[in-house]
Amino acid sequence: MLTELFESQLTSRHLDFAARRLAAEKRGFYSIGSAGHEGNAALAEATRTTDPALLHYRSGAFYVHRCRKVPDLDPVRDVLLGVVAAKTEPIAGGRHKVFGRAEAAIIPQTSTIASHLPRAVGLAFALNRPGARSEWPADAVVLCTFGDASANHSTATGAINTAIHTAHQGIPVPILFACEDNGIGLSVPTPPGWIRTAYATRPGLRWFEADGTDLEETLATANAATEWVREHREPAFLRLRTVRLLGHAGSDVESGYRSPAELAADAARDPLLATARLLAARGVDVLALHDRVHAAVTEAATAVLAEPRLGSAAEVVAPLAAAHPDSVRADAERTATADETPLTLAAAINHTLAEALTADPAVLVFGEDVARKGGVYGVTKNLRARFGPRRVFDTLLDEQSILGTALGAALAGFLPVPEIQYLAYLHNAADQLRGEAATLPFFSRGRYRNGTVVRIAGYGYQKGFGGHFHNDNAVAALRDIPGLVLASPARADDAAALLRTCLAAARVDGRVCVFLEPIALYHTRDLHEPGDEGWLGAPGAEHVPIGSARRYGTGTDLTLVCFANTVPMCLRVARRLAADGIGALVLDLRWLTPLPADDLLRAARATGRVLVADETRRSGGVSESVLTALLDGGFAGSMARVTSADSFVPLGPAAAHVLLDAGTIERAARDLLRR
């Protein structure tokens, strides 16, 4: 056993050496290595090949040893294919060098700041829930590894807190947090004993510790920690005291910030030397083993250079572009229940969530206040009473953990519908969407997906209530995420149809969808006059294809392009213009990503004049992309835009000074017509 582990340790070290050589020859593109951390091979021995593992980028020996336990896998070739960015690399296909293999239950991560920990907690939370995917055994343990510097990041502290908080309520959370503590983060030392001080005495978190350079001690402790989690279904923390050899990465010169004595002390604790001495004392020919591993890695490093690389943008983005619109439509129609009752936007969302919960037992609805209270605005009212607390539940107040729970639950086979209470609350957790959710299919060639529909209450127009925390119109960070779908309905019938589409796209294609709901329109009933109930709509049984706009009217003088709160504004402006004999066509984008470019061009060409009414900010707002799409599409007519100001939304009546209004839209429309 120790000899096999040593072989995995040696293999990992020689992979590091090979990566450095390839980088020096400008034929390799990744040199962050695992040297000094090779004791994590013992974690691979202590866990099963069916225990999901989400790995730190220095867990190379773990990857090697776990894959060697699965027939027909070649971890040496896998890693080197990643280093040279070959498209035949089996998990990411040359898009990044990651540790990932579905056959070995290693879920690919690119995290450098422990941003994978919320997902790991979410997966541990979901493993033992009824309906979890059968590929994860009932007694599986989730392992996530990370560094000592990353242990200080909010994603790590929040995720660990969430695991303890959840387990405190008697809910199984079988997760082993393994901190590979080498005492330094890039060039910044971790204070001695800090990890122990921060985590060893946390109530509800079982503590284990081992010298990661001592293979026997590490293996015994890893076995004890893994089996404790497997038996108790509660979180545990394992600190592996390691060293960092060869610097942070290939370009790092440690002598610039570490003393010769510090470097020598780490070199003296080299885990390979410690294991070699142990095995040599038992009669193992460690030099012969070393030479054999070195030769195998060297041969493989030469062979992978002949492998092809990604040759076009289309190849690179293929995992993001995978879509099956016919299957999405069929799935949306399958779950729909026709209802022609006029509803508000909030009620239509509630209706569609209930429809989804009824049709699909994998759907989970959760977030702050969504269950008992039914949401701040009543959007999820009565869903917990109808479908039970296992499917509709409240979470702790931590947006990173809410999204991480969703991403982990999606891996376990569920269709999560998490709610972020306000758009302003998303910004401290946006990397869970960008760096974790959207990248997972990209870095696994679609093998792993986390189909999710994130509901967010957003925009302004709450008459100054709550200031910028409750009135936020910043959507640029969402629109910039490759592969993410951003839907924004303005009225009830569209809300139902768009939400069905998002749910179906998450289920069929594993898409990550954000459903951005205009708070100010949640309970709006009237359009033009009090009591006309012109803004109610029936949820029906429709779905709306992604990237399909909604057209109002047949005017030929002017096209008003809008979305969310500006849709009823533009319809009112169009009515006033019509009284003066001006025919305005109103186009509701509905989808902010991807933009409905074809519908936009058709509507623009129908009149030759376009005014974009954009309630987001002038800089970084939606209108910039709309005008660009028109130019890219060859539109030669007149164009203009009106937007909200480049400002946060203030408290009280002052909000009216910075938010776009109907009067401004009308004046701009008349100005454009005079050009």
* Residues assigned a catalytic role: 470
Residue 98 is classified by DSSP as: -
Asked whether the beta carbons of 380 and 370 are under 8 A apart, the reply is yes
Q: What is the chain's length?
A: 675
Identify the CA nearest to 274 among candidates 192, 217, 209.
217
Nearest 5 degrees, angle CA 294-CA 300-CA 302?
Answer: 105
Nearest 5 degrees, angle CA 403-CA 413-CA 517?
Answer: 40
- Enumerate the H helices of 169-256 as residue ranges: 194-199, 215-232
Residues 6 or more apart whose Cβ sits within 8 Å of residue 581: none
- Enumerate the H helices of 211-344 as residue ranges: 215-232, 260-268, 271-280, 286-303, 313-321, 325-335
Burial, 26: exposed, middle or buried (Cβ in 10 Å; 0-12, 13-18, 19+)?
Answer: exposed
Residues 6 or more apart whose Cβ sits within 8 Å of residue 590: 487, 488, 489, 490, 494, 498, 544, 548, 549, 550, 563, 596
Distance of alpha carbon 673 from alpha carbon 337, whole angstroms: 44
Nearest 5 degrees, angle CA 366-CA 370-CA 376?
Answer: 145
Q: Report which residue type is found at 307.
A: E
Distance of alpha carbon 472 from alpha carbon 548, whole angstroms: 25
Asked whether the beta carbons of 381 and 562 are under 8 A apart, the reply is no
**Phi then psi dihedrals of residue 512, to 5 deg:** -95, 115
**Phi then psi dihedrals of residue 174, to 5 deg:** -80, 85
**Phi then psi dihedrals of residue 587, to 5 deg:** -120, 115
Q: What are the CA-CA distances from residue 140 to residues 48, 65, 199, 205 (Å)?
A: 8, 18, 24, 18
